[in-house]
Amino acid sequence: LLNNSLYSINETLNEWFASSDPNHEWTSYLPDYIDVSPFIAGVLTIGFIFGAYMAETFRGAIMAVDKGELEAAKAYGMSPVLSFRRILLPQMIRHALPGFGNNWLVLLKTTALVSIIGLEDMVRMSSLAAGTTKMPFTFYMA
C-alpha cells in the first residue's frame, strides 16, 4: 500500500513538473527574472547544505543515546522537555561535538568560495569602471 501511494505521488509530480508543455499554470505566477546578488546566493547555498550536514550530525547523536534512557525517564514521570534537557541533551552533546567541530572546519574552508565570488564581481566592476574612465590604477589600487 505504501509503495503504491509513493509511486502515484512520484507519477503525479513527474507529470506536473516534467511535462513537455512549458506553459504550466504555476509558472504564470513566477516573475520572469529574479535578481539575487552572488553573495546572497552563496550564503543561502552554503546555509542549506551545512544546515543539512548539521541536522544529520545531531540526528546521529540523538540516535546514539540508548532508547532505554528515555524509557526510564518516562517511567519516572519526567515530562518530554525535562527528559530531553536532563537525560538526552548531556549524552547527545558528547556524541555530537566531534561531528559538529568537523562541520565547522569544513564550513570555514567553504566560505572562501563565497569570498571568491565577491572578488570576481569586484574585479569585473573595476574592469568596467577602468575601461569607462581610462584610469585603471584608481580602481585596481582601491
The C-alpha cell at 84 is 530531553
Q: pLDDT tens digits, residue range 86-136?
A: 999 999 999 999 999 999 999 988 888 777 766 666 777 778 888 888 777
State the pLDDT at residue 18: 63
State the pLDDT at residue 87: 94
State the pLDDT at residue 11: 74
Q: pLDDT tens digits, residue range 37-86?
A: 777 878 888 899 999 999 999 999 999 999 999 999 999 999 999 999 99
State the pLDDT at residue 135: 76
CB 62 within 8 A of CB 28: no
Of residues 110, 93, 26, the one with CA closest to residue 58: 93
